[in-house]
Amino acid sequence: MTSLNPPPHAKPAIRSILVALMLAIFLGALDQTIVAVSIPAISAQFKDVSQLAWVISGYMVAMTVAVPIYGKLGDLYGRRRLMLFGMALFTLASIFCGLAQNMEQLVLARILQGIGAGGMISVSQAIIGDIVPPRERGRYQGYFSSMYAVASVAGPVLGGYMTEYLSWRWVFLINLPLGLVSLWIAHRTLVGLPVPQRKPIIDYLGTVLMIVGLTSLLLGITFIGQGQSWRDDQVLSLMATALVALVLFVWHERRTPEPLLPMHLFANRNAVLCWCTIFFTSFQAISLIVLMPLRYQSITGAGADSAALHLLPLAMGLPMGAYFAGRMTSVTGYYKPMILSGAVLMPLSIAGMALSPPSAELLSGVFMLLSGIAAGMQFPTSLVGAQNSVEQHDIGVATSTTNLFRSLGGAVGVALMSALLLALLHDSLLTPAVGQPLLGEGSSGNVLLDGLNAVQGPALDNLRSELLMTFRNLLLVSAAISLLGLCAAITMPNKVLRGRGDKAQ
């Protein structure tokens, strides 16, 4: 039995561990955003756009699929060795990315990098579950959420600067010194973590079925988000493969003695509702990060640098909400009030963004700040709630499942909102320009913006007025979808967190 309450003399060690974990979270999150601005330079050098979208999508898919595997292996073997492995693989793959000589090598290296990042992000949050009591975890998870926010702002800025003045290769090579420093700190500080005493049994068949199912599902979702019809043969075959593999996965997991993802966790009402809230929170947050700059640029005619600054209030709101929610859960011992408050604020703030034009920058910025606060209040508290709902030996699986739902929410959000935007624009005057992937990273820029650049005079004003109404309707649909997250938050039990004097049973 391992006490979750560290003795007073251990607090400096926890601070050192926190530094190592926050660096790992920052690196994993940074590579989700820093690469996007380098896509045109990569395309120009390799002269290959057919696989360009997978420079980003391959990383995301690999990271999402790797997360639950790391969670289970951490419960079986202990988290220190998995954390070090993930950091080492991420750093090594970053070198391969920076030295890639063609698009195939770059995509393969990005997939390896995503596998490493999945371990860094998932295991970091599970380690906090090992050494910090549930009542204190909200504060620490709030720090992690701030790393996501900092990475979302710093990524495009660093990526743009290095691509402009150095080379796109430095977008990846910068991870070498940062990764080595993180690895050294983690090696020195991640000592004394709990190590399971039970004999590990690896669920190989379940792992294969889950990899096939999740990969097929995410690839299908990605293709839809890049403009392919859901009735396309390729998309249908991927979705069918995902359905068969995931059904077989559930059937197998209910019968194997040491399941990769224990099905009894899905009988835990509180954990499932926490996963639902984080799914819809990620759905909104990630789709807003993708769509709001496009809305701002297409309606106002601003450049990419102004669009990045337009997104700043949303990025600032995330750590603000996470810090406040973490503090309040530690003080009160309850996490539902924070989740519920964020779930109420989310549809209201998105509706406010829909009804305020992008040209009203102050008003639009206020609503974006509120939406960031709403997401920040739900991300760390949903994770803490899920961890508090399970036994200590399932902490890693519960954490990785939470991250899995977070990743799936973001992927589904971007795909669904992108596909809906294409549908809304289908009958507009921009139809000739949007008959191809609207938001795909593999294009030579956003097709919508390219179409607008080809129009001049009064016709451009008419198109922008039409786009204002299109994005307004899109955001109102997004606000309506966020009500599903509110329903999950309302029905969530109001359970108290285990405190400093509690022990994991």
In a shared domain, residues 255 and 377:
no
In a shared domain, residues 276 and 209:
no
Kindly list the distances between the CA atom of residue 475 and the CA atoms of 12, 111, 345, 347, 364, in Å, as whole numbers in the listed order: 45, 32, 15, 10, 13
Length of the chain: 505
Residues 434 and 250: their CA atoms lie apart, in Å, by: 39
Kindly list the distances between the CA atom of residue 495 and the CA atoms of 82, 332, 386, in Å, as whole numbers in the listed order: 32, 11, 11
In a shared domain, residues 252 and 271:
no
Per-residue pLDDT at 95: 93
In a domain, 4, yes or no: no
Kindly list the distances between the CA atom of residue 94 and the CA atoms of 25, 169, 323, in Å, as whole numbers in the listed order: 16, 10, 31
**238 closest CA partner among 210, 262, 266, 218:** 218
Per-residue pLDDT at 458: 67
In a shared domain, residues 254 and 274:
no
**148 closest CA partner among 272, 289, 283, 351:** 289
Give the domain-ending residue among 171, 192, 213.
192
Task: Work out the number of other CB atoms within 10 angstroms of the CB of residue 305.
Answer: 11
Residues 127 and 104: their CA atoms lie apart, in Å, by: 35
Kindly list the distances between the CA atom of residue 389 and the CA atoms of 228, 257, 258, 395, 399, in Å, as whole numbers in the listed order: 40, 22, 20, 9, 11
In a domain, 293, yes or no: yes
Residue 83's identity, in one-letter code, is M
Per-residue pLDDT at 443: 38
Residues in contact with 370: Cβ distance below 8 Å, sequence separation at least 6, in sequence order: 317, 345, 348, 349, 352
Dihedral (C-alpha) 115, 119, 125, 129: value to the nearest 10 degrees? 140
Domain CATH for 40: 1.20.1250.20
Asked if 122 contacts 155 with a C-beta cutoff of 8 angstroms, the reply is no
Residues in contact with 449: Cβ distance below 8 Å, sequence separation at least 6, in sequence order: 294, 297, 298
pTM of the model: 0.77
Which residues are 385's β-sheet partners? Answer: none
How many domains does the chain divide into?
A: 3
Residues in contact with 319: Cβ distance below 8 Å, sequence separation at least 6, in sequence order: 142, 145, 146, 149, 150, 376
In a domain, 158, yes or no: yes
In a domain, 29, yes or no: yes
Give the domain-ending residue among 261, 280, 310.
261
In a shared domain, residues 161 and 286:
no
Which residues are 503's β-sheet partners? Answer: 3
In a shared domain, residues 306 and 227:
no
In a domain, 256, yes or no: yes
CA distance from start to end of the chain = 7
Residues 305 and 331: their CA atoms lie apart, in Å, by: 40
Per-residue pLDDT at 382: 87
Residues 125 and 130: their CA atoms lie apart, in Å, by: 9
In a shared domain, residues 104 and 125:
yes
In a domain, 199, yes or no: no
User: Residues 262-300: pLDDT tens digits?
Assistant: 888 888 899 899 999 999 998 998 888 778 877 887 777
Per-residue pLDDT at 456: 62
In a shared domain, residues 183 and 213:
no
In a shared domain, residues 225 and 362:
no
Token digits for 434?
């949007």
Task: Work out the number of other CB atoms within 10 angstroms of the CB of residue 125.
Answer: 27
Kindly list the distances between the CA atom of residue 60 and the CA atoms of 49, 187, 231, in Å, as whole numbers in the listed order: 18, 26, 24
In a shared domain, residues 223 and 97:
no
**386 closest CA partner among 370, 372, 398:** 398
**252 closest CA partner among 242, 261, 240:** 261
Identify the burial level of 231 via C-beta atoms within 10 angstroms of its C-beta, where 0-12 means exposed, 13-18 middle and 19 or more buried: exposed
In a domain, 432, yes or no: yes
In a domain, 316, yes or no: yes
Q: What are phi and psi of 255, to 5 degrees?
A: -120, -15
In a shared domain, residues 313 and 355:
yes
Token digits for 419?
């596909």
In a shared domain, residues 253 and 295:
no
Per-residue pLDDT at 196: 67
> DSSP assignment of 455-488, as one string?
--THHHHHHHHHHHHHHHHHHHHHHHHHHHHHHH
**40 closest CA partner among 32, 31, 49:** 49
Block mean pLDDT (10 aa), the chain, length 505: 41 69 82 73 73 74 84 80 90 92 89 89 79 72 72 73 82 88 85 68 83 86 74 87 92 85 87 92 85 79 68 82 84 89 94 87 89 89 85 78 85 80 65 43 45 60 78 91 93 76 40
Rg (CA), the chain: 22
% helix / strand / coil in the chain, to the nearest 5? 80, 0, 20
Residue 430's identity, in one-letter code, is L
Range of the domain at 98: 9-192
